[in-house]
Amino acid sequence: MNSSINWGRLYSQGRCKDIGVSWSEEDMEAIYGSEKVPFEYVRRGCHTQTEMADMIASDNAEQTQTGKKSLIRMTLDELIVEAQSQGLQFDSSATPRATLMTMVASARKQPADSSPAI
């Protein structure tokens, strides 16, 4: 029996902040306390509904300027299309949405002439 922690599964289910990083007390309070901020926004640094509303407004402004949706607002199908357009290799039936978001975000940060990390 394997008794090691499956960080990938915990991450994809929103049960940890990142691979190998558990939620802090402040993060847990934001997610499960009175604020009830979705874990995707807590991962981006929001701990209150006000901070989340500001980030949503910023995302909307960016989408208006660039014409691109932020990764957090993309559906799984949109993320798959975006990842494929970035040349990323993955199994679309087995790769969780959170992992795709991370992969696409990493690919967007790389210079155009370098190959994406897998």
Q: What confidence category does residue 111 fall into, taking pLDDT thresholds of 50, 70 and 90?
A: low
| pLDDT tens by residue, 49-92 | 999 999 999 989 989 998 888 888 899 999 999 999 999 999 98
Nearest to 44 by CA among 69, 63, 71, 74: 71
Angle formed at CA 112 by CA 97 and CA 60, multiple of 5 degrees: 50
Q: Is 1's pLDDT higher than 70?
A: no
Q: What confidence category does residue 117 fall into, taking pLDDT thresholds of 50, 70 and 90?
A: very low
| pLDDT tens by residue, 6-45 | 988 898 899 999 989 999 999 999 999 999 999 999 999 9
